[in-house]
Structure 1
Amino acid sequence: MSTRTDRVAEAGAPVPDRAASRGLPARLTTRTARTRLGTLAGAALLVVLVWRLGTGAFLDGLRRIDGPALLAALGIGLVTTVFSAWRWALVARGIGIRLPLGPAVADYYRALFLNAALPGGVLGDVHRAVRHGQSTGDLGRGVRAVVLERTAGQLALFVAGGVVLLTAPSPVRDEVRHAALPAALAALAALGACAVVLALRMNRAPARRGRALRGVLAEAREGLLSRRNAPGVLVSSAVVLAGYVAMFVLAARVVGAGASVPELLPLAVLALLAMGLPLNVGGWGPREGVTAWAFGAAGLGAGRGLSVAVVYGVLSLAASLPGVVVLVARWYAGLRAGARSAPASPGARRGGYPGPPPSTAPVASAASAASPSVVSSEKYAPKESARLASSFFPFSAEPSEGRPMTPESV
């Protein structure tokens, strides 16, 4: 029995594309659609901020950035990048992948610059995950190493942010305290439900899928919670988070905010939490909106908060600029490696194909004069130039022992 698609094809009508026939909800759930929607949402938020607060807050923050501030940002960025790369190397070693600290720092700088320069804010992490997986010959494990490393950083931010927002004076402390118990109960209930669903799926799933899932959980335990890796992951996450807060305090000092560090700490945590939302343009959008609201609620001025967020974004971009050097250096190294590996011959460099040796022409003339049979065989025999030229192709020109012609490497 022919299907509907076969009958339509036999009738000569065009077969409808399944991707094109999907509904709007299905199209909006694709990864590309989510990235574009997040970028549009971040751009819309920036437009609203400019409309409500004017361009003065943006321009005032940019005018106040000077050389010492940029040098301080580069120093803070160096510390946070080295410790982030160390955390990545620890996690990779825990799941069985070798990652030296030097290449890890270079790749992390490149990822930070791509995150800041490209929409979405995560394309740099995707790039380093794929490149590291391809270089080690295990793409899945390389991607999981980056996911676990980023998860460790986010968990450290959530835990430290929850403690700061519950204890330190902030515009949202009362709201957080009122919502802390229901949120904790909801989180525990969701965690329990996920555990039940995971157990059921592991029992009902095929053996191969169950083994893969248990392997992923074992890698997460070894990469983050093992006795060998847990102290280093904890220390590196704390140092990286402290560096982000120091960058925020530096931005506030550049703008001229007179608040003390304890007053700026909960505001910095709110800004860092907002940066994790996937509704941004290279990290811009939610950070500026939340910082403007938090500064306004704290009595420091929404416009000044927007200036602090703008300066923080510029300083973060400046701290990631060594990633440009890494990109250029890797590109140039790739060009040199390609030039060294390209096949070349003396004849090809002169612009022609290699011809027969000079001594072959007299010998051939003498042989042709001595015997007509030699002339016939010489006429139809393959020339030396043809035999030499055949070595430049991946397939052999002459079969041997009655077997079909195969590539030279085989």
Structure 2
Amino acid sequence: MKSSRKILLRALLGLALLGAVLALADPRRVLASLGQAHPGWLLTGFAAAIASNLVSALRWRALARWLGADMGMRDAIRWYFQAIGLNALLPGAVVGGDLYRAVVLRRTGQDAVASSWSVVLDRVSGLWMLCAIGGLGAAASVGTLGAALGLSPALLRGMALCGTALWLVLPWCLPALLRHGAGWRWLAPLRTAAVRPDFQCQLGRQALASGAVQVLSAAALAAGGLALGIQLPPAAWAWAIAPVFLMAALPVSVGGWGTREAAAVAALAPFGVAVPAAVGAAMLYGVYGLVQGALGALAFGLPSRGQTVAAIDPAQDGHGN
């Protein structure tokens, strides 16, 4: 019951935030904007969103196999798109889908540690590259962002570039950093992976795949914006994806609804984007996820009830962890 109350609370919190954002934007204006969306740009955004998740699925498969948990390409795509459906429908943003991926891979007989860490590191690598691209976008948009924040463009550019550079090299420092945490047992699998001779090559491949995922995701969000008449330079979208996607990933809503729209309003406001248009663009990106989850269910089937319960509540998993 305690877990059920938490799920309900998250759902209500996300819905309340979405309602507040829609009230601020004026629902009639948002609906009017969505009703006039350009079909060509809508389809372009949807295609980019699908491509992004296909690359994500293949990135996860490559990482899992490197860690010792084997799975076929079809299985990786099938489980990934089923996870998208869970993410879109369950409270907890990406948490439910990520737990599902770890559970279903482990239940095929793969190593439990490798299965779990493949999902954790896959998610972390995506967030790592997302923040890096956001930092580069901020550095290229210092004129607009500096004026909004009351900071010198030169100072803001220097902070963004230095921070992004340090952020990008951080994973290559992982072996040295992990030696300082030798007493933490839960990091043992990561330490083992970091000392492998092919660690640097795998990290490079992971970085390239994550970069492609985030570029395609940014293109999906930008295409949704263009469908609503939002004309912004690529650097502005590169900056915007960081707060928008990070807020959508917080486990305090259903499928990121509410948090994603609030972040879009804040991130796009310095560029003169009206609130209804910003909310509409974020909602279109959310709809892309809903449609992909539905198509994934039609193409690959729904997760079994036991797997879905395990994704919602790990305590229900037969392995007990």
Change in CA separation of 1:129 and 1:56 when aligned onto 2, cut-off 3 Å: same
* Contact 1:69/1:254 (8 A) holds in 2: yes
Matches within 5 A, 1:6-405: 35-65=7-37, 68-69=40-41, 71-122=43-94, 123-169=96-142, 171-173=144-146, 175=149, 180=159, 199=180, 202=183, 210=185, 213-219=187-193, 226-328=199-301
Displacement after TM superposition at 1:267 (Å): 2.8
> How far did residue 285 of structure 1 move?
1.2
* Cα 1:326–1:118 shift into 2, 3 Å: farther
1:278 to partner: Cα distance: 2.7
State the AA in 2 paired with 1:271: V
1:304-353 Cα distance to aligned partner (Å, 9 max, x none): 2112112222133224433112442777xxxxxxxxxxxxxxxxxxxxxx
- Contact kept, 8 Å, 1:87 with 1:149, in 2: the verdict is yes
Specify the code of the residue in structure 2 equivalent to 1:226.
Answer: F
Q: Which has the higher helix share?
A: 2
Query: How many Å separate the matches in 1 of 2:104 and 2:194?
Result: 20
Count of residues in Structure 1 that have an aligned counterpart in Structure 2: 288
Residue 310 of structure 2 is matched in structure 1 by none
- The offset of 1:40, in angstroms, is 3.3
Q: Which runs of 5+ in 1 are unaligned?
A: 1-18, 20-26, 189-194, 203-208, 332-410
Q: CA, structure 1 residues 322+196, in 2 after alignment: closer, same or farther (shift >3 Å)?
A: closer
**Partner residue, 1:379:** none
Amino acid at match of 1:291: A
Rounded Cα–Cα distance in structure 2 between residues aligned with 1:256 and 1:246: 15
Identity of aligned residues (%): 23
2:262–2:279 Cα contact (<8 Å) kept: yes
Q: Structure 1 pair 34/330, CA: closer, same or farther in 2 (3 Å)?
A: closer
Q: 1:326 to 1:58 in 2, by over 3 A?
A: same
Matched-pair contact (CA < 8 Å) for 2:247–2:256? no
Query: Relative to 1, partners in 2 of residues 1:256 and 1:250: Cα closer, same or farther, differing over 3 Å?
Result: same
Query: Relative to structure 1, is the Cα distance of residues 98 and 287 closer, same or farther in structure 2, using a 3 angstrom cutoff?
Result: same
- Alignment-mate amino acid for residue 290 of structure 1: A
Please provide the CA RMSD for this pair: 3.6
**Structure 2 residue runs without a partner (length 5+):** 168-175, 305-321
Distance 1:294 1:231, change over 3 A: closer
8 Å CA contact retained: 1:274, 1:287: yes
CA distance in 1, matches of 2:97, 2:72: 19
Distance in 2 separating the partners of 1:87 and 1:102: 13
Deviations 1:354-387 (A, max 9, x none): xxxxxxxxxxxxxxxxxxxxxxxxxxxxxxxxxx
Give the superposition deviation at 1:66: 6.3
**Higher-Rg member (1/2):** 1
Normalising by structure 2, what TM-score? 0.76
Mapped to 2, the partners of 1:263 and 1:136 lie a distance apart of: 45
How far the C-alpha of 1:236 sits from its partner, in A, is 0.9
Distance across 1 between alignment mates of 2:279 and 2:138: 21
Contact residue 91 and residue 253 of structure 2 kept, 8 A: yes
- The 2-side partners of 1:37 and 1:304 are apart by 29
1:292/1:95 Cα in 2 relative to 1: closer, same or farther (>3 Å)? same
Contact 2:70–2:110 at 8 Å: present in 1 too?
no
Deviations 1:18-59 (A, max 9, x none): x9xxxxxxx8xxx76665544333222112112222212431
Distance 1:200 1:103, change over 3 A: closer
Question: Residues 196 and 232 from structure 1, CA distance in 2 versus in 1: closer, same or farther, beyond 3 angstroms?
Answer: closer
In structure 2, what is the Cα distance between the partners aligned to 1:221 and 1:242? Answer: 30
Contact 1:251–1:311 (Cα < 8 Å) also in 2: yes
Greater relative contact order (Cα < 8 A, sep 6+): 2
Query: Structure 1: which 4+ aligned runs deviate by more than 6 Å?
Result: 195-198
For residues 101-130 of structure 1, what are the alpha-carbon distances to aligned partners after superposition, in whole Å with 9 as ceiling and x for unaligned? 221111111111211122212212211110
CA 1:303 to 1:201, structure 2 compared with 1: closer, same or farther past 3 Å?
Answer: same
